[in-house]
């Protein structure tokens, strides 16, 4: 009988921890929804992509705060993704999470990095796009299947978008 109570206490503690994480995640999303505007939807009729990379959308964080993940509006979900560069911007197509559009004139920087919320690597295996959503500057991290594509992304965004 003692063992039954101990097991029930452990299960109850585990469920309480899960509930606490859920409530914290929702509270963070609610508070961020005031600071971060809705991400733009991908426009129709974009034509052919200039560049395309498959991989994993890792996270979006506030620029310069690599551990402060943006969780509002589905931005906190790590998913498989395809990045497509078009003349007007970047289409971020995520499997199982909302897709979004980064207008080219909103891009303020692009770089290789080794860390962003939820992912730390020994090499510069992440492509990080810095961009403005309204008045808020964000970093969006992408782990591509082909790291050899990164120089093309950096070059294209520096030439046409003025990113540094």
Of the candidate ranges 3-7, 31-35, 58-62, 144-148, the one whose mean pLDDT is the lowest: 31-35
What would you report as the CA-atom Rg of the chain, rounded to the nearest whole angstrom?
Answer: 19
In terms of domains, do 30 and 76 share one?
A: no
Judgement on whether residues 22 and 57 belong to the same structural domain of the protein: no
| 3-class DSSP assignment, residue 69 | strand
pLDDT digits (tens, 9 = 90+) for 43-75: 998 888 999 999 999 999 999 999 889 988 888
**Count of the separate structural domains present in the chain:** 2
Give percent of the chain with pLDDT exceeding 70: 96
pLDDT at 83: 95
Give the CA count within 13 Å in the CB-facing half-sphere of 153: 26
Shared-domain flag, residues 19 and 58? no
Range of the domain at 134: 51-161
pLDDT bin (cut points 50, 70, 90) of residue 159 is low
The CA angle 109-93-123, to the nearest 5 degrees, is: 50
What pLDDT is recorded for position 31? 77
Q: What angle do CA 9, 11, 30 make, to 5 degrees?
A: 115
> Do residues 88 and 24 both lie within one domain?
no
pLDDT in tens, 66-112: 988 998 888 888 999 999 999 999 999 998 899 999 999 999 999 99
| Integer Cα distance of 91 and 101 in angstroms | 5
Query: What average pLDDT does the segment 133-149 reach?
Result: 92
111 vs 126: CA distance, rounded Å: 8
- Is the domain of 21 the same as that of 101? no
């Amino acid at each position: 009988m003692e063992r039954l109570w101990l097991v029930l206490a452990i299960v109850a503690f585990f469920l309480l921890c899960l509930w606490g994480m859920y409530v914290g995640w929702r509270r963070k999303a609610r508070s961020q929804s005031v600071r971060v505007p809705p991400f733009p939807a991908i426009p129709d009729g974009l034509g052919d992509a200039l560049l395309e990379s498959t991989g994993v959308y890792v996270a979006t964080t506030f620029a310069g705060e690599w551990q402060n993940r943006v969780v509002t509006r589905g931005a906190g979900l790590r998913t498989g993704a395809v990045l497509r560069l078009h003349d007007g911007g970047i289409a971020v197509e995520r499997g199982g999470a909302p897709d979004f559009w980064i207008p080219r004139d909103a891009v303020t920087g692009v770089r290789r990095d080794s860390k962003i919320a939820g992912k730390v690597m020994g090499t510069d295996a992440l492509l990080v796009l810095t961009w403005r959503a309204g008045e808020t500057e964000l970093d969006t991290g992408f782990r591509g299947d082909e790291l050899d594509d990164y120089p093309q992304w950096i070059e294209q965004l520096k030439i046409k978008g003025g990113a540094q």
